Amino acid sequence: MSKIQVSFKLNGKDVDVLVEPRDLLIHVLREQLQSTGSHIGCETSHCGACTVDIDGESIKSCTVLAVQAQGAELITVEGLAQNGELHPLQQAFMDEHGLQCGFCTPGMLVRGYRFLQENPDPSEDEIRYAMAGNLCRCTGYQNIIKSIQKAAVDMKTANATSAE
């Protein structure tokens, strides 16, 4: 099978990669680009461990072909921290103990990041609904919800401070 060159931005950097037409994005990210933060869980789009942000949408990369990323802007969990500083959501997950084993955490963080871009002042019910496609077997979700709530407040405070 002949390979196809696919070009996109990954966490702000231009990437060119040769893929087979059948290659899944999660495999290309992890195996060819060494971006291993996104995890392979179920490979059926049920768990959300592989969630990445593509052009402003949360996407489960286990069910997307790499060729579909042509020209896109992708953000993985590695792209959330900036200049050595954790993203407020990452910090909130630490502060509120929003993780245990950590396997689902990259997908939770990327989905939570996009959700807070869409809804910067969410209710608990809105958070629960938005995160329903990301499964966790360890935490019972309560601290994940608290983490997202804390991040929303922290981000709002940071935005208000920077606007002054």
Please give the pLDDT value at position 34: 97
CATH for the stretch 88-158: 1.10.150.120
Report domain 4-78's class.
alpha beta
Q: Kindly list the domain boundaries of the chain, sorted by start residue.
A: 4-78, 88-158
pLDDT tens-digit readout, 76-96? 999 999 999 999 999 999 999
The pLDDT of residue 70 is above 70: yes
Range 142-160 average pLDDT: 94
Please give the pLDDT value at position 95: 97
Please give the pLDDT value at position 139: 84
pLDDT tens-digit readout, 40-65? 998 888 999 999 999 999 999 999 99
pLDDT band at 72 (very low <50, low <70, confident <90, very high): very high
3-state secondary structure of 53: strand
Please, what is the average pLDDT of the chain? 95
pLDDT tens-digit readout, 81-134? 999 999 999 999 999 999 999 999 999 999 999 999 999 999 999 999 999 999
Query: What does pTM read for this prediction?
Result: 0.94
Please give the pLDDT value at position 65: 98
Range 140-144 average pLDDT: 93
> Any idea which residue has 């990210």 for tokens?
29
Question: Both tokens of residue 157?
Answer: 């405070």
Q: What angle do helix axes 88-95 and 142-163 make, rounded to 10 degrees? A: 140
Residue 57's DSSP bridge partners are 54
Question: Does residue 107 contact residue 98 with C-beta atoms inside 8 Å?
Answer: no
pLDDT band at 164 (very low <50, low <70, confident <90, very high): low
Question: Does residue 106 contact residue 77 with C-beta atoms inside 8 Å?
Answer: yes
